[in-house]
Amino acid sequence: MSQSLDLLFLGSGNAFASGRYWSSFLLNGRYLFDASPVALPHLKRTGTALEEIEAIFISHFHGDHFLGLPFLLLEYAEHTGRTKELTILGPPGIEERLRIVTDACYPHLFRKEVGYKVSYVDVEDGLTGQVAGAKFIARSVTHVDDLDCFGYRIETGGRIVAYSGDSMMCDALVDLAAGADVFVVECSCWQEACGPHLGPDDLRELRRRLGPEPAFILTHLDAGQENLGIENSLVADDLARFHM
């Protein structure tokens, strides 16, 4: 029997959205997708069991998706003890990039003895694997030229969730979302000028190509909220929780 899905949005905004915090979300209390600068305080605010997070999927190294990681590691080192292994997946060089950023803020952290193992996975286009009881696929998506950027597809408990990361329209998004139960997909503007991001017309095209399923949950949004008239879609908000 398939399990239900629990998606908790720690933030729902793009890098510039007034009134929204930066986007990231937690799936089933175990899988964190991106680590925005407010991920830790919002995890605490919602009473999340921090030690139960087993895998963190980083889409790319822009600060609104990545800079919450040092604070989470600091929390584990100084306050919330954990024993479970933590796996951090992200673009090539994820471990080195995290060490550089963390050493700049908390130089002692990687020299401190902690009671758990951290494993790092450099993802590449088409990489498949298993982590914390879930199957995953990583796909390269089209965002900016100077960074490797990825979307993910994860299967757990007989259910499938796809995540676009930050992307412009590309075939990889359709591959990730086809046959999924939920597609967490960025929509960085309510109008049509989004820069290297998806906008409403892109979402309508994705719906056309995918059909009535999966359910879309729109995130990485601009300020405010509008009804875009897209079938089977929900709009995330900060601290919103969806049971599906």
Candidates 182, 122, 119, 121; CA nearest to 155 is 182
Does some domain include residue 43? yes
Does some domain include residue 241? no
What pLDDT, on a 0 to 100 scale, did the predictor assign at position 139? 98
H helical segments located in 106-199: 171-177
Does some domain include residue 240? no
Does some domain include residue 60? yes
Does some domain include residue 45? yes
Show the beta-strand stretches assigned E in 142-226.
150-156, 159-163, 182-186, 215-219
Token reading at 77: 């080192």
Q: Along the 244 residues of the chain, how does pLDDT read in single tens digits?
A: 679 999 999 999 999 999 999 999 999 999 999 999 999 999 999 999 999 999 999 999 999 999 999 999 999 999 988 999 999 999 999 999 999 999 999 999 998 888 999 999 999 999 999 999 999 999 999 999 999 999 999 999 999 999 999 999 999 999 999 999 999 999 999 998 789 999 999 999 999 999 999 999 999 999 999 999 999 999 999 999 999 9
Q: Which domain holds residue 154?
A: 6-223
Does some domain include residue 237? no
CATH number at residue 36: 3.60.15.10
Token reading at 110: 């990687």
Does some domain include residue 84? yes
Structural domain count, the chain: 1
Using the Cα atoms of residue 155, residue 35, residue 167 and residue 8 in order, give the sign of their dihedral: positive
Does some domain include residue 215? yes
Count of CA atoms in the C-beta half-sphere (13 A) of 11:
28
